[in-house]
Amino acid sequence: MSALTAIGEILVLIGTFFYLLSALGLIRMPDVYNRMQTSTKSATLGSLGVIVGVGIWALGTDFGSAAWLTKTIVIAVFLLLTNPISAHALIRAAYKSGIPLWEGSVVDKYREHLEGKEKAPEETPKEGGEE
Amino acid sequence: MGEASKISRYLYTVIVLFLIWLAITASLDVQELGFGLLLSLIVAAFTYEIFTTNGLANLHPKRIAYMIAYIPYFLWAMIMANLDVAYRVLHPKRPIRPGIVKCKTVLNSDVGKLALANSITLTPGTITLDVDEDEYFIHWIWVPDEALTESEEEHVKASSEGITVPFEKFLKVIFG
């Protein structure tokens, strides 16, 4: 049991805790947007912790080598770059398909923006439009 | 920002692909390196047109220094975001006051906008809903009082200061 093993174990533990929070957020939050908020962030950091933790953990064992760490870091970076994009695509699709916001929501600037866009083409003639 | 020459874009793609190959194989064997270089050259020939518009200018030392400085800053913001989520999920009263706010950005390049959108999604209480030119529509889990004003300009100013401005000083240098 070396220091590296201990660090790896602690990282994996922290990551698992954030996974748990992510699942709990899915249950407790009132609408799809807030659920996306909690689940995306916690799941990303949780995965980072678990994946990099496994890499460091393997360094401390007798069969481990530096290859573990570089591979896990590559996986972590790919995950870090793609996870928010999928969240963005999901939340945007949810909005476009008309899922309402929670009744406690305070502002919705996006609806104003979309309505403004719908009105604009009618006011300007088709050939002389800006686009 | 104009487009770089084809050769510069091609070389930049080769370098990035080869670095990924190095990390994945994690071996400095000559055969592995040679084959990796060959594969990078072939794949880059097909993909460099969609991969980058700046070419080797991305490897400017100042940009790399800012990128390295950005990594711990971003990770710290992410950890804060998760503690924030933990607080909101575990608190018995569930303190949320969500809303969709509008922000403006000063970034020009598409990659910079993508990086900013990703950073926003992973940091405290915000998730990007849509990007239109220089306007970001962001779902905020706790809209502060300053952003609740009637006036459009004040709203955009307050929400931009809360969300986009902290990242822009890094991303402006990295991606332009």
Q: What is the pLDDT of residues B125-166, one digit of tens each?
A: 788 888 887 788 888 877 776 666 666 666 677 666 767 667
Q: Show the tokens assigned to B5.
A: 């020459």
B114: amino acid identity, one letter: L
Chain A from 31 to 60: CB within 8 A of any B CB: 31, 33-34, 36-38, 40-42, 44-45
- Give the closest-approach CA distance of A125 to chain B in angstroms: 23
A74 has a chain B CB within 8 A of its CB: yes
Residue A21 has what pLDDT?
86
Best mutation target among B129, B146, B149, B152 (most A Cβ atoms within 10 Å) is: B129
| Residue B28: strand, helix, or coil | coil
Residue A128 has what pLDDT?
45
Contact B127 A67 (CB under 8 A): no
Residuewise pLDDT in 10s, chain B (176 residues)? 456 678 888 888 898 899 989 888 887 888 989 999 999 999 988 888 888 777 777 778 888 888 888 888 888 888 888 888 888 888 777 777 787 888 888 888 888 888 888 888 887 778 888 888 778 888 887 777 666 666 666 667 766 676 766 777 788 877 76
Query: Is the complex ipTM higher than 0.95?
Result: no
Contacts of A95 in chain B (CB under 8 A): 129-130
Contact A40 B128 (CB under 8 A): no
Three-point CA angle B134, A38, A56, nearest 5°? 100
B121 has a chain A CB within 8 A of its CB: yes
Q: Determine the Cα–Cα distance for residues A73 and A47; give it in Å rounded to an integer.
A: 11
Best mutation target among B17, B78, B80, B121 (most A Cβ atoms within 10 Å) is: B121
CB-based contacts of A92: which residues, under 8 Å, 6+ apart? B129, B130
Residuewise pLDDT in 10s, chain A (131 residues)? 688 888 999 999 999 998 988 888 888 888 888 888 888 888 888 898 999 999 888 887 777 777 888 888 999 999 988 988 998 898 888 888 888 777 666 667 777 777 777 776 555 444 444 44
Residue A113 has what pLDDT?
75
Residue located via tokens 């518009």: B53
Give yes or no for a contact between A99 and B49, defined as CB atoms under 8 angstroms apart.
Answer: no
Contact B121 A28 (CB under 8 A): no
In this structure, the strands spanning B99-104 and B126-132 are unpaired
Residue A131 has what pLDDT?
42
Give yes or no for a contact between B137 and B130, defined as CB atoms under 8 angstroms apart.
Answer: yes
Residue of A nearest to B115 (CA): A81
B161: amino acid identity, one letter: E
Q: Determine the Cα–Cα distance for residues B111 and B122; give it in Å rounded to an integer.
A: 17
Q: Please tell me what DSSP assigns to residue B148.
A: G
- Give the closest-approach CA distance of A3 to chain B in angstroms: 23
A67 has a chain B CB within 8 A of its CB: yes
Angle, in degrees to the nearest 10, between helices A66-96 and B110-121: 90
Threshold 0.90, pTM exceeds: no
Contact B85 A21 (CB under 8 A): yes
Residue B152 has what pLDDT?
66
